[in-house]
Structure 1
Amino acid sequence: MATVHHWTGLEAKALRLALRLSVRAFAEHLGVGVRTVSKWEKLGALTEPRPDSQAILDTALARADAAGHLRFETFLSEAGRPGRDTASLRVSSVAPLAWEYESWADDLDRVVVALSQQDFPFGDHLLSRWLGRFKSSELDEKGLYLFARSTALLGDLKRYQGTLAGLLSAQHSYVSARAVFTQLGIPRRAAQLDLSLAIVMEMSGKLEPAARAYETLAVDGRLSPCDRARARLWVGTALSKDGWHDYATRVMTAATRDFEDLAEPDDWSVAHQKLALARRGAGDLTAALRFLDVAFTTGTARSPMQRVQLTTAQAHILSTDPATRDNGLRLLDEAARIAAQSGLGHQLRSIEAIRRTCEGAFKPPHQRAGSSAWQMDDRRESPRISGRPPS
């Protein structure tokens, strides 16, 4: 909830607009003259109400409902944008006020929720409100922290959307945010962004460099034990995508034990989903279905992305077997529908790649362009990550 420590005509006008009152109605609401309100709005940030009027404005703001507070914060946060009445706006080079920092932090919490639900337009709106409002050179340490968090979340948004241009944008955002966190001396946040950059690398198809980056981060003391376990799991994910299914299983199994020790049930469930896909790649469908059953019975699938990932994994495994191929393709259609509705570009590309692989796998041998991905095994030389097999 916003608190104004020092009212000017700018804040007074924002409150009137937030309450959706005319100048006359607002004056009556406050118990002041219409000319007084008109003066505040004409002079904007260049005038300050008298102490008794400041108290009246405090009371009016405190009595506003939650929607009114949100509108009040929005009007003020958008002040200073091109095209607005400069007489009623605060100069953009002035550092943020205390209440703006509170509102900014609250908005970032809302962004996290929006991204978890794949509500990308709302998340983008909230982030643009603040990243377009201030320049990093205008901010103190607290402001820089919020700016870097906003930039990192913008990277997450672009990565979740998964378009090819979005991955480049995500990489740029992560690099920028990491530089600010490094400047602020917050190594944990900087390391988390290294992890995010490795994910972008993997999503871009650079599997071996991604696996090496994950392996380094799996023993990075800057990260929490849970983040290190995730990095270990993703080493296995990258190896599995590159065809090293048995080695990937070993790495993922170690990560699964870590999640169990850390009492992280959601990550533990995701690890079983990844293990299922690794065993499918190795041709062990019995183990793949067993791991997938664990993922389904213990995991949560509240968000569109979680539903797409679980459904795609199930479809991928079922479509490998001729007896269940039709069910697998039907589930792929369902996953594609959810991904398209939610704007999950990377998942859509993955689903189409799986479909092409499945359709090619069941063609007569003379019609196949090459061996399909599900027929790959681990008869090649052991993969080497940082000069040694992953452990």
Structure 2
Amino acid sequence: MATVHHWTGLEAKALRLALRLSVRTYAQQLGLATATVSKWESKLAGTEPRPDTQAILDTALARADTSVHLRFETLLSEMTSPLSAARRRITASGPRAWEYESWADDLDRVAIALSRQNFEFAGSLLSRWLVRFPAPELDEKGLYLHARSTTLLGDLKRDQGAVLGPLSAEHAYIDARAVFAQLDIPRRVAQIDLSLAVVTEMAGSLETAARKYEALAVDDRLSRRDRARARLWVGTALSKDGQHDYATRVMTAATRDFEELTEPDDWSVAHQKLALARRGAGDLAKALHHIEIARNSGTTESPMQRVRLDTAHGHILISDPATQDDGLLVLGQAAVVASQYGLVHQLRSIEGIKAMSEGLASPQQR
């Protein structure tokens, strides 16, 4: 797909012709005056759209289908003389000040989209910048934005369940870590290390993940909140590994930290993790107590968190034959939401819990 790094009237005209629109219709679709488009077409490479209009043209090109992109590239090749080729910037060049600002704004939008599990929109925003400005061509400010973008790409891949491999969360995090290390930003490097430990846990290497979390829980590069998260995740890994009692002690300490820090969402997640640890230890009464706290606290209501809470609740309910049917119903509802939002890792967890429940059921129950 073609990418324009800086629009002039020449590229704008080529896009109109590629879209096969009249000057008037093109202006209407872009939300601009017909006179503005006419000016582009008369001055071509001698005029440049305003920064906000550059973004409008970016969007129009990004939304075009493959045939339009092919016509656009062909027309540019035909329209460009040696002199104007030197003035065009289809090939990479460093971002301008307004592009840095737009890039930072888009990263805020990506964070919001990820919190809502809108992976398609988040991915399109990240691709827009990562494809446009390769890292070797960036100054320090650009590299920082590139590393933040790659970190968010890792978050996206992790939430989708793509944990290992060349197009995975692990790969994106490693790339981001290298840039933050190059920029000498220790806090960001440590945060990436924490994310990589989560990837290790998700991949099933629980003992290795627990050791990584333990080291990060006392790492001064991290904020107190991040250190508390690391401590909580030590407990998560230990609980998954069957060490439920010690896991509970570690998680309880992290829960106190979140309460002191006034972090209601983290506090809610901590109670969700405690609930699963108590379930693993066979104390279903305490497990239900903690999951009720988790369900009635926290301020973020995202599809991911709903699925996690319902999965934990369903896991506890099916552990008791008296509430097994209710548990399967809750897990079924969680699976529907997980499927709707493409939460592959959560779907695998739900299916694993169901399979385990069926394996433990007595012949009469089956």
Question: In which range does the TM-score fall when normalised by the shorter chain?
Answer: 0.7 to 0.9
The answer on whether the counterparts of 1:152 and 1:173 sit within 8 Å (CA) in structure 2 is: yes
Corresponding residue for 2:313?
314
Cα pair distance change 1:105/1:37, threshold 3 Å:
same
Note the C-alpha offset of 1:343: 0.5
- CA offset digits 1:318-338 (Å, max 9, x no partner): 100010010001111111111
Note the C-alpha offset of 1:134: 1.4
Q: How many Å separate the matches in 2 of 1:149 and 1:295?
A: 30
Note the C-alpha offset of 1:31: 5.4
Identity of aligned residues (%): 63
Q: Which runs of 5+ in 2 are unaligned?
A: 1-5, 64-68
Corresponding residue for 2:172?
173
Q: CA RMSD in A?
A: 3.3
Q: Which moved more, 1:195-204 or 1:349-358?
A: 349-358
Provide TM-score, normalisation by structure 1: 0.78
SS in 1 for 2:132: coil
- Identify which of 31, 43, 56 aligns with 1:71: 56
Q: How many Å separate the matches in 2 of 1:11 and 1:153?
A: 31
- CA offset digits 1:286-314 (Å, max 9, x no partner): 11111111111112462111110000011
SS in 2 for 1:132: helix
Corresponding residue for 1:290?
289
- CA offset digits 1:101-149 (Å, max 9, x no partner): 1111111111111111111111111111111111111111111111111
Q: Within the alignment, does 1:37 sit opposite 2:43 as a pair? A: no
Q: How many Å separate the matches in 1 of 2:183 and 2:61?
A: 27
Provide TM-score, normalisation by structure 2: 0.83
- CA offset digits 1:180-227 (Å, max 9, x no partner): 011011111111100000000000000000000001001111111101
Q: How many Å separate the matches in 2 of 1:250 and 1:157?
A: 31
2:350 maps to amino acid: I
Cα pair distance change 1:342/1:31, threshold 3 Å:
closer
Q: Which moved more, 1:293-302 or 1:190-199?
A: 293-302
Q: How many Å separate the matches in 2 of 1:248 and 1:15?
A: 59
Q: Within the alignment, does 1:192 sit opposite 2:191 as a pair? A: yes
Q: How many Å separate the matches in 1 of 2:274 and 2:99?
A: 45
SS in 2 for 1:93: coil
The answer on whether the counterparts of 1:339 and 1:347 sit within 8 Å (CA) in structure 2 is: yes
Corresponding residue for 1:263?
262
Note the C-alpha offset of 1:249: 0.2
Corresponding residue for 2:233?
234
Note the C-alpha offset of 1:165: 5.3
The answer on whether the counterparts of 2:13 and 2:41 sit within 8 Å (CA) in structure 1 is: no
The answer on whether the counterparts of 2:275 and 2:287 sit within 8 Å (CA) in structure 1 is: yes
Note the C-alpha offset of 1:23: 3.5
Q: How many Å separate the matches in 1 of 2:335 and 2:22?
A: 49
Corresponding residue for 1:327?
326
Q: How many Å separate the matches in 1 of 2:14 and 2:214?
A: 51
The answer on whether the counterparts of 1:210 and 1:238 sit within 8 Å (CA) in structure 2 is: yes
